[in-house]
């Protein structure tokens, strides 16, 4: 299992941790344009999150790591991470399955 030195001040609502292509843990601040995805009004039709997914794709193409549950579906970051820990997850794939997002330990 990967040993990660988590900063004491890590806040999953404002920061993201993920593994880069070399397997090294990277900590970054979540850009404002990512947090704005959850505020895009759901569209009518078969997929109410289609507009959010499209915006997430655009940002991911720029190299920004997108967490589908938090960024696209609008779930709260703290509770989402708590549920992931409860189910024994230490990492989850990003929205497009290319990057592993790390799950922080409980405080």
pTM (predicted TM-score): 0.91
46-60 confidence digits (pLDDT tens): 899 999 999 999 999
First vs last C-alpha separation in the chain = 20
CB 94 within 8 A of CB 66: yes
pLDDT of residue 107: 78
Report pLDDT digits (tens) over 72-99.
999 999 999 999 999 999 999 999 999 9
pLDDT at 1: 55
**65 closest CA partner among 18, 21, 105, 23:** 18
Distances (CA, A) of 53 to 33, 59, 66, 73, 74: 13, 10, 10, 9, 12
- Report phi then psi at 30, rounded to 5: -75, 120
Q: What is the pLDDT of residues 2-45, one digit of tens each?
A: 788 999 999 999 999 999 989 999 999 999 999 999 999 988 88
């Amino acid at each position: 299992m990967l040993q990660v030195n988590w900063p004491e001040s890590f806040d999953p609502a404002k920061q993201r941790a993920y593994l880069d292509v070399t397997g090294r843990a990277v900590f970054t601040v979540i850009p404002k344009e990512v947090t704005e995805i959850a505020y895009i009004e759901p569209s009518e039709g078969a997929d109410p999150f289609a507009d959010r997914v499209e915006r997430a794709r655009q940002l991911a193409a720029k190299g920004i790591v997108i967490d589908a549950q938090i960024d696209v579906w609008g779930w709260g970051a703290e509770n989402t991470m708590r549920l992931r820990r409860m189910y024994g997850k230490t990492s989850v794939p990003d929205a497009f399955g290319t990057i592993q997002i790390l799950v922080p330990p409980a405080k």
